[in-house]
Structure 1
Amino acid sequence: MTRPTSRRTVLTAALAAGAGAVASAGPASAAVSRTSSSPAAASLVDNRFWTTYTDWRSGSRAGTRAVAGRRAGLEIAAPLGRTDYADPHTGTTSSWEYATWTSPVHRSDVPATEVIASWNAHTPEGTWIQTELRGRYSDGTDTPWYVMGRWASADTDIRRTSVDDQTDGKSTVWTDTFSVDDAASGLRLVSYRLRLTLYRTPGTRLTPTVHRIGAMASDVPDRFTVPATTPGVVRELAVPRYSQNVHVGQYPEYDNGGEAWCSPTSSQMIIEYWGRRPTAEDLAWVKPGLDDPQVCHAARYTFDYQYDGCGNWPFNAAYASTYKDMSAAVTRLDSLAGLEKLVDAGIPVITSQSFLKGELTGAGYGTSGHLMTVIGFTADGDIIANDPASPDNDAVRHVYARREWENIWLRTKRYDANGAVRSGTGGVCYVYWPASPSARQRRVLRSLGLA
């Protein structure tokens, strides 16, 4: 994972060079190099999500209420007051009523160098939400309240945005990821709370509804290579195929256009795998005659106006959850075993990786960050992926060598084309699934800390 400004520079240079297939805009998160001071733990990842009625009744509520029903949630009950928000991306200042919910303290099973929050919410016009994180370090001190995202499903009330320049000298928020600045020092985040602030137009009865909030905490040790795993699953899921390159030059105001839309294109594939898609009314804003207008729609509604891109990981998960009865989370997986469990249960996964041209046989391109959709495994254990960095929809399905693919996905360090050491994502992925999964799917999701 490179810093956002660096990733943008690398991406622009790659596009200008036109080397092979497009170098896709991938992970928004960006962390400095990490070094583990102790051997790798049995698990490198801790997930904690609040989603049930009991969850919403826990913690501290100030003007919010837990809502029961088929799908529990959190809503505004009686606003605490009004506040002004100066939107840096529109230049306008508006007044909003607000209410809050703060989670109980969660002590992570994995003292963490990185934390990524994600959420599922419904924000009707005239509403929006803010997610914050405050943690406690292993030295007994606390972080400030860090903003992890200001989000609305639309872009008319506020412009959804990450917040730059958040640091306390010990940690920094890189777009969507909290990161300890000097992991080699041994400092870790041992616990955290999340705070939701729900906003609405003053004098109305409108409310956002939050169905899920949580975070993935991890301490993945620095590694250029990971151990090889033994194949365990043979299955291929029938996931729709979309190419981001079909959209080259379209809507350049959203992350330079389709050449950078690997994340929303991947998200759209899985949303449609689960039988959801935008309506004709949703797509009325798209220019007539464009192929796959739903991909343009996904780009617009995942766009982070501060990051200036569509690769904000939690914003993609939040977009997926705007479709009826969909759940979504950002997490890390320890190995290909977890990925195989999900696919075997019928759940495709969007993975984040970066690699040089030649490191992934058959890709035909190199990238500083790219998202693709894993849809299956061959009899030899190789990865079947819908790779949006393909010339057209028919070319999207790829089979990638297992050993090459698992290494570029799970490593945290790599060399760039100039021989400089860069960061890798260490197994980051998005997981989308129906709010009422099958019993088998629920068991697999629960085993990974997602349900």
Structure 2
Amino acid sequence: MTSPTSRRTVLTAAAAAAAAGAGAAASAGPAAAAPGSTPSVRPSAPRAAAPLVDNRFWHTYTDWRWGSGDGTRVLAGVRPGLQIATPAGRTDYTDPHTGKTAAWEYATWTSPVHRSAVPATELITSWNARTPAGTWIAVELSATYADSTATPWFVMGRWASGDGDIRRTSVDGQGDPHSSVWTDTLSVDDAASGVRFASYRIRLTLYRAPGSRLTPTVWRAGAMASDIPDRFTVPASTPVHARELRVPRYSQNVHIGQYPEYDNGGEAWCSPTSSQMIVEYWGRRPTADDLAWVRPGLPDPQVCHAARYTYDHQYGGCGNWPFNAAYAATYRDLNAVVTRLGSLTDLERLVRAGIPVITSQSFLEAELPGAGYGTAGHLMTVVGFTPEGDVIANDPASPDNAAVRRVYPRRAWENIWLRTKRYDASGRVRSGTGGVCYVFWPSGPTPGQRRVLRSLGLL
């Protein structure tokens, strides 16, 4: 089959030198005692490895109150959020994808500075919002380097759940002398230089049609900061939990050639197909009215719907990571973020708690036995683990829905997912995603789900 290529491979791996220094410090043991002597002190325990990922998402009433608002109000209740109160101003926006210029009222909210526990080479934002017709939002990010200089405000997304007012879009061509925005990721250009992001702020701008009383509502916004070392392989983990979740199974390949305006179906739709599986696992799905636009007779019209409403008009595809999370969160009481996990064990803990995870990986056909294809970037859904620890995945790169369930060898799978460097078919070094994944969960998680989400910094 054709290799799925729906996800670009532009992520920059972190510096090996910095990681090696941290690893040496963490693994160095106490000096050996002279023969026949008695050590004067007991050997100290090895220091824990430095964290590689830091998550910070603003979502509580207190979180929103701690930020700085201009024209916004904080919505209290079970699911606190941010809305327009009295607009701070009015501006024109020319949509680059339609050429249409329209006036909009706006209000802003800026987060407090978050100092990351990880001096980071990459930042990826996520947001969860509702944007009724006549409204939309922009999400911006500004980071501060270790030398206290700051980046400009970078646009990480202009987003609406629909596409009647604006075309949701990332913004190309953004950067400064040290870093660049690659669709949905702010990345240090040269990780080996030692440049790192020490802290960051998020700015939300909420827009509405002038003179209306409409408002977007933002329930969650934040970022994942990470510094994943260069690595072609990762240590093998030990299986700890066996469980399989009952997740709907959808094939992207039954949609080949559908909707060229949303990247033509098939191999380009791995991300929205995976997202739709998890949305439906949590008991949510589009209504018949939502699907009325889909041509009659097409299989799984909800997958077409997911592709349309995750489509990034600048990137020209459905693989924008935060746009997929934001799509999932348009459904009732669902939260969704993009993050990295540090190990397959963390993923097992989520599955054991009943939370399936969408993972991003790239590999040659020979590197993942049983796949039958190679890919420069592909999303699949991990739904369980066998008693032997092998990975049970709903892989949308399958000929039909019945073939979606796959069992992949644990060692091969964890390596292709967690590594940051790989070789392509021509022997050239390419990047890997280093454990990137989407995590979706309901607003009322069980106590077990809450514990594991909190332990990963997602609550």
Q: 1:398 to 1:323 in 2, by over 3 A?
A: same
- Is contact 1:267–1:320 with CA below 8 Å preserved after alignment? yes
Alignment map for 1:22-41 (pairs within 5 Å): 22-28=2-8, 30-36=10-16, 37=18, 38-40=21-23, 41=49
Tell me how many residue pairs correspond in the alignment. 431
Matched, 1:139 2:147: yes
Work out which of the two has the higher radius of gyration on C-alpha atoms and give 1 or 2: 2
- Is contact 1:28–1:312 with CA below 8 Å preserved after alignment? no
Cα deviations by residue, 1:279-302 (Å, 9 ceiling, x for unpaired)? 000000000011100000000000
Q: Which runs of 4+ in 1 moved over 6 A?
A: none
Cα deviations by residue, 1:1-39 (Å, 9 ceiling, x for unpaired)? xxxxxxxxxxxxxxxxxxx3x322443572234324232
1:109 to 117, 137, 141: 117
> What is the alpha-carbon distance in structure 2 between the residues aligned to residue 406 and residue 115 of structure 1?
23
SS in 1 for 2:292: helix
Residue 140 of structure 1 and its aligned partner are, at CA, apart by: 1.7
1:71 maps to a residue whose letter is: R
Matched with 1:366 is 374
1:258 maps to a residue whose letter is: G
Residue 412 of structure 1 and its aligned partner are, at CA, apart by: 0.1
- Cα-Cα RMSD: 0.9
> What is the alpha-carbon distance in structure 1 between the residues aligned to residue 362 and residue 8 of structure 2?
12
Matched with 2:400 is 392
Matched, 1:376 2:384: yes
Matched with 1:260 is 268
SS in 1 for 2:327: helix
Matched, 1:230 2:213: no
- Is contact 1:25–1:311 with CA below 8 Å preserved after alignment? no
> What is the alpha-carbon distance in structure 1 between the residues aligned to residue 80 and residue 5 of structure 2?
35
SS in 2 for 1:285: coil
1:32 maps to a residue whose letter is: T
Matched with 2:57 is 49
> What is the alpha-carbon distance in structure 2 between the residues aligned to residue 231 and residue 53 of structure 1?
39
Which stretches in structure 2 are left out of the alignment for 5+ residues? 24-48
1:303 to 304, 311, 316: 311
Q: 1:320 to 1:28 in 2, by over 3 A?
A: farther
- Is contact 1:85–1:95 with CA below 8 Å preserved after alignment? yes
Matched, 1:204 2:204: no
Cα deviations by residue, 1:116-174 (Å, 9 ceiling, x for unpaired)? 00000000000000000101101221000011100000011000000000010100000
Matched with 1:80 is 88
Q: 1:332 to 1:437 in 2, by over 3 A?
A: same
TM-score, L = length of structure 2? 0.93
> What is the alpha-carbon distance in structure 2 between the residues aligned to residue 142 and residue 132 of structure 1?
14
Q: 1:111 to 1:414 in 2, by over 3 A?
A: same
2:138 to 124, 130, 139: 130
> What is the alpha-carbon distance in structure 1 between the residues aligned to residue 361 and residue 214 of structure 2?
40
> What is the alpha-carbon distance in structure 2 between the residues aligned to residue 431 and residue 386 of structure 1?
15
Alignment map for 1:148-167 (pairs within 5 Å): 148-167=156-175
Cα deviations by residue, 1:360-393 (Å, 9 ceiling, x for unpaired)? 0000000000000000000100000000000000
Alignment map for 1:205-354 (pairs within 5 Å): 205-354=213-362
1:169 maps to a residue whose letter is: P
SS in 1 for 2:449: helix
Which stretches in structure 1 are left out of the alignment for 5+ residues? 1-19
Matched, 1:420 2:400: no
- Is contact 1:30–1:177 with CA below 8 Å preserved after alignment? no
- Is contact 2:135–2:209 with CA below 8 Å preserved after alignment? yes
- Is contact 2:14–2:192 with CA below 8 Å preserved after alignment? yes
> What is the alpha-carbon distance in structure 2 between the residues aligned to residue 372 and residue 361 of structure 1?
15
- Is contact 2:13–2:229 with CA below 8 Å preserved after alignment? no
